[in-house]
Every structure is written in C-alpha cells, then in structure tokens.
C-alpha cells in the first residue's frame, strides 16, 4: 500500500511540476497546449503523416475519457500488491480481489438503482450490446422495427407504444447513448423498468477494459450535479463563443434536451473532413469513434433529418470533468480561424455573400 501511494505521489508531482518547455494547470487534459504560442517548437511530432506542434487539447470525451486520479488511486494496489485472481478461493490474494470485484459491483449498482447481483462485467460495450440484443432471440430469429426520431433526436413515445406488437420481445433504446449517459444523468433501472442495460466505465473517467470502475461510479454519483452545471457552462461558453464570430452554425439535436458535454455542430459551406484535418491542435471527432473512419455522413444525423450537405460539415465537441475554460477559449479561436480559412476558399460561400440562393441553382450535368 505504501508503495502504491508513493508511486501515485511521484506521478502527481511529475504532472503538476512545471517543465522548461511547458506549464501545466491542475485538472487539465492539455492546458499547456491550450495557451501555447503559435510558433512551432523544436520537439514537434509527426503521427500518421500529420505534423503536430504539441499534444492537442482533448475535446473528444464521447469517444473516451481520461482516468480520474482518484480512480487510479483505487486501482494501483491491485496492479502492484493485491494482484490475485478473484477465482482463487484458497488464499488471501484471491479473497482480496474477489472482495474488490464485489465492491465494484455494488458501486455500479448503486449508481443506477440496481442490485449488485444484476451487474455483469464484460470486455466492453460491443459485447454487452450483443449479449443484450442478440442473446434474446438469436436461436429463434426475429423481425426488427426501426423507429424514426424527430429533428431534436427524441423518440416519439406514442409512436413507440403503437409499434409494440403482441409478439414483441425486446424494446431497445438509448439515453444519450447508454455508455455516455452513465454518471452524467440520473439513471434508475427499476423506475425505468429496464431489463438490460449496456454501460462503459471508460466513458466516466474509469479505466478501459477493467472491472475496477466501481470507484468511477461512486465518484459520478457524488459529483453528477456539480459536473453537469460546470460542463453545461463550458458548453454554453463554447457555443456562444463560436456563434459570436461565425454565422451559419447549427446545433444538431435538441438544444434543451441533451447531455451538456456533447455539442454537435454543423458549419455551413465547410467540408467536415477538411475542418477536422485543419484542427490538428484540437482532438475532436466527426461522430462516433466506432464509425468515424467512414466518410459517409452519420446515420444519426440522417435520422435527425439533417441535409446531406450539412451532415458533411459537422464536428462533435466532447467536454468533460477536466476540461478547462482556457481549453474552451483556445478551441473557439482555432475553430473560428479554420472555418474562416476554409470559407475563404469556398466558391459557394462567395456566392452566398453575393446574395445568391445556391439551393435555387440548376447545376449542369456532365
């Protein structure tokens, strides 16, 4: 135990102590880069052919989140001293690990109003989804009914009720998406009458691929209200900051009924992939990390009724517990600069500025 605490102390000192080339403010994912000068330092790096002057500020919290240092504190003893297999029933090491797993099970259950016996740890969200959905009728086969959503991304409950048949065995819905909603909005599986739910620890400042995210759930329950207010304020700061300097910015989905940490914007007359490539100093995404390798517009945006041209101009900003105001301000500055640069290169934008309605243009076929 003393060894693990010493390691954590050393780690924190290395993170919080200023180095000759950068300054670091507490609870920031990339605060040094957020306020770094525009000139390129000598220690720039190139990854996948992209030259980056420093580590980008991180605004992709919907893809994954950093581990909370308090979660790391809880994890380290099980990597260094209490490393027994929880299924080893004949000695202390196994007993310690088994007790830790059961504690984590209780912490997860407490966050969502479930019984600890109902919590099953899997390798990840994909396995959980497959168990939940395919596991119900895989042997028998089934018909699937897909329901549309409104322009705000919300399912019409009356349409849902009307689509349930006598032989319906499973209704599957998402809250934000369940992986992201955990620890961000109140969840009560009993009140919601939920039979199965897929949850991900790495979306709530827990580890990737480990059972030890019970501590992350415990912290999320204590700090949910505070996180929501703080993240909401940062989202408002980001949106207002961008809109104060740019026109043609559209929020995708409901403005009122959304998780504050997820801000999905479309920028008219700008190609989304070009914007992403230009924002190499900001780690953002065009959509789900599971499908972002595809150049096709997000099926979620299509379901919202977003026009094809606007769907190709969208960027998702993910704000989290450790995002700072400095990072938000830097993201605003860089986003505005890049959008303005791309619009200056766009003949369509020039036509719009001249008052031409480009939707009325009859383009010649070749």
pLDDT 10s digits, 64-75: 999 999 999 999
In whole angstroms, give the CA distance from residue 73 to residue 56: 26
Report pLDDT for 117.
Answer: 95
With contact defined as beta carbons under 8 Å apart, do 205 and 97 qualify? no
Report pLDDT for 314.
Answer: 87
Neighbours of 122 (CB within 10 A): 17
Q: Which residues pair with 250 in a beta bridge?
A: 266
Report pLDDT for 98.
Answer: 94
Backbone angles phi, psi at 304, to 5 degrees: -80, -5
Active-site choice (45, 290, 345, 356) = 290
Chain segment 113-128, per-residue pLDDT in tens: 999 999 999 888 888 8
Arithmetic mean of pLDDT, 81-103: 92
Which of 310, 309, 329 is CA-nearest to residue 319? 329
User: What percentage of the chain has pLDDT greater than the value 70?
Assistant: 80
With contact defined as beta carbons under 8 Å apart, do 109 and 31 qualify? no
In whole angstroms, give the CA distance from residue 51 to residue 129: 37
Report pLDDT for 361.
Answer: 66
Residue 246 has pLDDT above 70, yes or no: yes
Report pLDDT for 25.
Answer: 36
pTM (predicted TM-score): 0.74
Lowest mean pLDDT among 200-209, 210-219, 297-306: 297-306
Per-residue tokens: 87 = 């299924």
Number of H helices, E strands in the chain: 13, 7
Binned at pLDDT 50, 70 and 90, residue 130 comes out as: confident
Residue corresponding to tokens 């990597």: 79
Separation of CA 133 from chain center? 23
With contact defined as beta carbons under 8 Å apart, do 202 and 64 qualify? yes
Binned at pLDDT 50, 70 and 90, residue 255 comes out as: confident
Higher pLDDT pick, 215 / 356: 215
Arithmetic mean of pLDDT, 11-28: 39
Establish whether 217 is a catalytic residue.
no
3-state secondary structure the chain: CHHHHHHHHHHHHHHHCCECCECCCCCCCCHHHHCCCCCCCCCCEEECCEEECCCCEECECCCCCCCCHHHHHHHHHHHHCCCCCCCCCCCHHHHHHHHHHHHHHHHHHHHHCCCHHHCCCCCCHHHHHHHHHHHHHCCCCCCCCCCCCCCCCCCCHHHHHHHCCCCCCCCCCCCCCHHHHCCCCCCCCCCCCCCCCCCCHHHCCCCCCCCCCHHHHHHHHHHHHHHHHHHHHHHHHHHHHHHHHCCCEEECCCCCCCCCCEEEEEECCCCHHHHHHHCCCEECECCCCCCCCCCCCCHHHHHCCCCHHHHCCEEEEECCCCCCHHHHHHHHHHHHHHHHHHHHCCHHHHHHHCCCCHHHCCCCCC
Residue 31 has pLDDT above 90, yes or no: no
Chain segment 310-323, per-residue pLDDT in tens: 777 889 999 999 99
Report pLDDT for 7.
Answer: 41
């Amino acid at each position: 135990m003393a060894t693990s605490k010493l390691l954590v102390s050393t780690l924190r000192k290395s993170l919080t102590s200023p180095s000759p080339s950068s300054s670091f403010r507490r609870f920031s994912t990339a605060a040094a880069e957020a306020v770094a000068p525009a000139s390129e330092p000598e220690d720039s790096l190139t990854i996948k052919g992209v030259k980056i002057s420093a580590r980008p500020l991180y605004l992709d919290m919907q893809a994954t989140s950093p581990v909370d240092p308090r979660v790391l504190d809880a994890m380290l003893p099980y990597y260094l001293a209490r490393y027994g297999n929880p299924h080893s029933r004949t000695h202390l090491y196994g007993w310690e690990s088994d007790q830790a797993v059961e504690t984590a099970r209780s912490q997860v259950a407490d966050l969502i109003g479930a019984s600890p016996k109902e919590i099953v740890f899997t390798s990840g969200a994909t396995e959980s989804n497959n168990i939940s959905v395919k596991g119900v009728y895989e042997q028998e086969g089934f018909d699937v009914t897909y329901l549309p959503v409104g322009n705000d991304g919300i399912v019409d409950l009356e349409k849902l009720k009307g689509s349930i048949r006598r032989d319906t065995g499973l209704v599957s819905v998402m809250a934000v998406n369940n992986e992201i909603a955990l620890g961000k909005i109140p969840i009560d599986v009993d009140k919601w009458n939920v039979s199965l739910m897929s949850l991900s620890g790495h979306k709530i400042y827990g580890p990737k691929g480990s059972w030890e995210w019970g501590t992350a759930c415990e912290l999320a329950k204590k700090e949910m209200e505070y996180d929501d207010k703080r993240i909401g304020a940062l989202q408002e700061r980001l949106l207002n900051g961008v809109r104060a300097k740019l026109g043609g910015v559209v929020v995708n989905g409901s403005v009122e009924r959304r998780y504050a940490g997820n801000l999905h914007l479309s920028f008219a007359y700008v190609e989304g992939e070009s914007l992403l490539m230009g924002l190499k100093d900001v780690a953002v995404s065009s959509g789900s990390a599971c499908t972002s390798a595809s150049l096709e517009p997000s099926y979620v945006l299509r379901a919202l009724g977003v026009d094809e041209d606007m769907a190709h101009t969208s960027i998702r900003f993910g704000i989290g517990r450790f995002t700072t105001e400095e990072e938000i301000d830097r993201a605003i500055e860089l986003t505005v600069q890049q959008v303005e640069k791309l619009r200056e290169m766009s003949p369509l934008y020039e036509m719009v500025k001249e008052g031409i309605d480009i939707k009325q243009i009859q383009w010649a076929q070749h």
